[in-house]
Amino acid sequence: MLIKVAGSGCSKCQYTIELIDKLARAAGVAVDIDKVTGADEIQRLGATSTPAVFVDGVLVHSGGIPTHEAVAGWFDAEVPGFLKGPTRHLFFTGKGGVGKTSLSTATALRLADAGKKVLLVSTDAASNLDEMLGIELRNIATPVPGVAGLSVLNIDPDNAAESYRQRVLVQMDADATETERATVREQLSGACTTEIASFDEFAALLSGDAGAYDHIVFDTAPTGHTLRLLSLPQAWSGFLAGNDRGASCLGPHSGLKMQEVRFKAALDALSDPGQTTVILVARADKSAIAEAARTSEELRTLGLNNQRLIINGVFHASDPTDAVACAIAALGQQALDAMPQVLQTLPQDQVPLRAFDTVGLPALRALLATHAAPSASAGKASSAADQHLPGLDVLADELAATGHGLIMVMGKGGVGKTTVAAALALGLVERGKTVHLSTTDPAAHLVGTLEGEVPGLRVDRIDPKVETQRYIDRMMASKSPGLNDQEQALLLEDLRSPCTEEVAVFHAFSKIVNEARSAFVVLDTAPTGHSLLLMDAAGAYHRQTLRDFEGHRSGRMTTPLMRLQDATYTRIILVTLPEITPVSQAAALQDDLRRASIEPYAWVINKSVLAAGTHDPLLAARLAGERKQMTRMAGGLAARSFIVPWRTRPPIGLAELSKLVNHQAGKEDA
């Protein structure tokens, strides 16, 4: 919205400008305020007295300072339903890539601009809040420059775990040796400690440690990890209620039992509809809506019944001759029309697709604004610049030529990892290979993506509940012989602690990694943050194995981490969308992998509208950003890149997936 304030520059004019800016931010409306002080220009505009205000060229006020009510009326901002009487705790959750971070941040800004004191918390290990807000995320509340009343906090797993380890070490006896301290530190270096330490900080926010804030807005990790997080208050409360010894799996002197009151308070806060609202975020997309429906039902079983639904990025085509734009709009409407009943009963808001990336305060404030005008059209798109990038058919050829190995598909949630993993697995089978396709993602979309069975392709998942029970059974079988009934009961009690799940999942992951010695294994990984925790577990296991193996000169020792570091054994495929946030997160993931001496094999740019071709004004306005990201990747960020154009038919089912990796069909229907 363009606003011109005409006047001599007196104090009344300046106050008018400040008032407009303040109320525009409170309404979430993006404004560009232009001061006009020249007498000739004021006369040309038609102002007879000053201060005079023009909104998008229309004179709306002349003479004196406008009232608050008048200025608010210019914006005519319809407050989204989820911001009408918001509860103290607001959780944004949903499938990766649906816009949780953008919407949670825009919400926190709106509340802060309205005069509230707000804490924005990220529970995602791969959060990009730092890029959106232009500040460094820390594990302590940090004020956001330019936004009075807003602070941001990142529950960083590594920092949380280190802080937890230090608290445990402080409780050790003063005469403990360095060797004993080192042993305890190593015991507390695994994924179990990382999870419980992160949860401990999360529980503190819910149980009263953030009492200075009016609202706490949680930007959560993708659904599977978030459900795990939200279930922990109940899980740990139940575990501790029958355990007088604390949780031994967390190391000696953990004192976890002392946190029981905090966990109970966190559980009470989550289940209180007067304190907590869970906002399910989805796109107008079949899989995103289906996951939101599953999440809604699972949250109800946890006692979190105060739920709302936001459909983000709703798109309406403006040119009936644009096949790509019309297909995008039609698919979105079909998904909305088929919305499950469990979601239809929820209060719902829709946020339209914007022509801009939600990076920076102006863009974030405009996200929820009524008058967020699209950027100037970028003109008719051309895919000529992208013809040099090969497709998945070429990548499948390269992978098949290696004979066997582990192919790990990684990236931010919502970028299409499952689609790429399923297509590559199918491409390998079509090239005469036998393939095991699995996933570490708790959300597990593989079966729904394939929609069929293929000879030579075995499909399964690492199911946390199944693997946990298998792990418990193995431990009981190996350790319980020789124990009396009471000792066996205590062992079983420890194994039923919530942290056992992380250990069990890692063991299942290690088994799959080893399968690639003689066959192809394609692994669809969980979104970035959860996958990095799995990598941390691999590192901890590697270090422990090296210590245990030290002094044994016979035989050869190979850990899962060593398999991942072997470029002839493991090929990491990073999947991204041609947008600033997914590309930045893929780059950060690449840096994390390199620090672990793991080098990605290639990047896949998925759902490129630029490569598909469109001249819809809104989509065309977004293509300048897509070109910029492709240039960024080509400039050295990605050593090798492959591209998947946005398709008018979703790549779901064997036939459509096959087109992505088939040399002939892959060129059609883009």
99 catalytically annotated: yes
Q: Give alpha helix (H) positions in 82-216.
A: 100-113, 129-133, 157-170, 178-187, 191-204
**C-alpha dihedral over 446, 224, 491, 558, to 10 degrees?**
60
In eight-state DSSP terms, residue 209 is I
Of the residues 358, 528, 581, 658, which is catalytic?
581
What strand order describes the sheet that includes 2-6? Answer: 32-36, 2-6, 52-55, 58-62
The three-state secondary structure class of 8 is coil
Residue type, position 481, single letter = P
Of the residues 124, 200, 349, 441, which is catalytic?
124
149 catalytically annotated: no
What are the two backbone dihedrals, phi and then psi, of residue 332, each rounded to the nearest 5 degrees? -65, -45
Residue 520, both tokens: 């192809």
What are the two backbone dihedrals, phi and then psi, of residue 445, each rounded to the nearest 5 degrees? -105, 10
**CA separation for the pair 349, 368 (Å, rounded):** 11
555 catalytically annotated: no
CA angle 126, 606, 278 (to 5 degrees): 45
Residue type, position 591, single letter = D
Of the residues 4, 94, 96, 100, which is catalytic?
100
CA–CA distances in Å: residue 664 to residues 144, 429, 605, 661: 52, 17, 20, 9
In the chain the domains, ranked by start, together with CATH numbers, are 2-75 (3.40.30.10), 87-241+249-368 (3.40.50.300), 392-469+499-546+558-660 (3.40.50.300)
Q: Collect the ranges in the chain with pLDDT lower than 50.
A: 223-224, 236, 240, 245-258, 373-387, 528-529, 554, 665-668
R_g of the chain, CA atoms, integer Å: 27
**CA separation for the pair 604, 427 (Å, rounded):** 15
Q: What pLDDT is recorded for position 190? A: 55
DSSP letter string, 370-429:
TT-PPPPP--S---GGGTTS--HHHHHHHHHTT-SEEEEEE-STTS-HHHHHHHHHHHHH
**CA separation for the pair 319, 72 (Å, rounded):** 34
46 catalytically annotated: no
124 catalytically annotated: yes
Q: What pLDDT is recorded for position 242? A: 52
Q: What pLDDT is recorded for position 285? A: 86
Burial of 664 (0-12, 13-18, 19+ CB in 10 A): exposed
**CA separation for the pair 362, 28 (Å, rounded):** 9
Summary mean pLDDT of the chain: 79
**CA separation for the pair 458, 81 (Å, rounded):** 46
Of the residues 7, 28, 94, 99, which is catalytic?
99
Strands 150-154 and 142-143: antiparallel
**CA separation for the pair 670, 657 (Å, rounded):** 13
**C-alpha dihedral over 206, 210, 213, 215, to 10 degrees?**
-20
Of the residues 16, 50, 93, 102, which is catalytic?
102
Residue 589, both tokens: 């993931």
Of the residues 7, 96, 97, 405, which is catalytic?
97
Of the residues 101, 104, 440, 658, which is catalytic?
101
248 catalytically annotated: no
Residues 6+ apart with CB under 8 A from 425: 435, 437, 457, 520, 522
105 catalytically annotated: no
Contact 306, 276 (CB under 8 A): yes
